[in-house]
Chain A
Amino acid sequence: DAEITQSPRHKITETGRQVTLACHQTWNHNNMFWYRQDLGHGLRLIHYSYGVQDTNKGEVSDGYSVSRSNTEDLPLTLESAASSQTSVYFCASSESPGGSEQYFGPGTRLTVT
């Protein structure tokens, strides 16, 4: 069965370190998204990609970057982790950019100390 996975599931890091969160999907979807989830804010879009070599900024992109070298993967990098980036991060993919179901990964809980 097709799936979307994230790793690691839990991560503790120190302020200032670079961190990369992995996202891998086997749906063969062109569209992939990264969200962060914080209490009271719902799901906020960080970055998204509509295909290989395409990346776009979302509403809360400062301090984050992504790259898309193949269809299956969209890693999220925190260039210099800050305590404000402590959150739960979800990756998602979909068949169409905004008009179809998004399939979410299991999430990564990141703590920045």
Chain B
Amino acid sequence: GENVEQHPSTLSVQEGDSAVIKCTYSDSASNYFPWYKQELGKRPQLIIDIRSNVGEKKDQRIAVTLNKTAKHFSLHITETQPEDSAVYFCAASRAKLSFGAGTTVTVRA
């Protein structure tokens, strides 16, 4: 089955700085790569996704890049704000989602 590895497990950034989270996947047939954000005590919610026929996608302060050859994809958050503090999960899918272990992001004021 698909194996998704996510790094780092924790990330602390100064407000206004950028945050980058990286994931690798094992199944070269995976074609859908979503990112979920989970605030403390809440449910995971989709923040951005990318498909295998696209190399980069942006939505305001967040962007995702995909390198199919290397089988890795990354989440970039620019101009971080306190409300960006949360756990972020990457996932990869061919027929069903496999999630990374998560990254706890803390934005320091």
Chain A interface residues toward B at CB < 8 A:
33, 35, 40-45, 48, 58-59, 90, 97-102, 104-107
Contacts of A102 in B (CB 8 A): 34, 46, 97
Give Cα A41–Cα B4 distance, bound, in whole angstroms: 11
Q: How many A-B residue pairs have CB under 8 A?
A: 50
Chain A interface, >50% SS class: loop
The reply to whether A43 and B89 contact each other, CB–CB distance below 8 Å, is yes
Query: In the complex, what's the smallest C-beta–C-beta distance from B93 to chain A, in angstroms?
Result: 4
The reply to whether B95 and A104 contact each other, CB–CB distance below 8 Å, is no
The reply to whether B45 and A104 contact each other, CB–CB distance below 8 Å, is yes
Contacts of A41 in B (CB 8 A): 101
The reply to whether B34 and A43 contact each other, CB–CB distance below 8 Å, is no
For this complex, into which size category does the number of interface residues on chain B fall?
20 to 34
Contacts of B46 in A (CB 8 A): 101-102
Contact check: which of B1, B43, B49 meets A59 at CB < 8 Å? B1
A-B contact pairs, 18 of them (CB 8 A): A41-B101, A42-B102, A44-B99, A45-B96, A45-B97, A45-B98, A48-B96, A59-B1, A90-B43, A97-B96, A98-B95, A98-B97, A99-B31, A99-B32, A100-B32, A102-B46, A104-B45, A106-B42
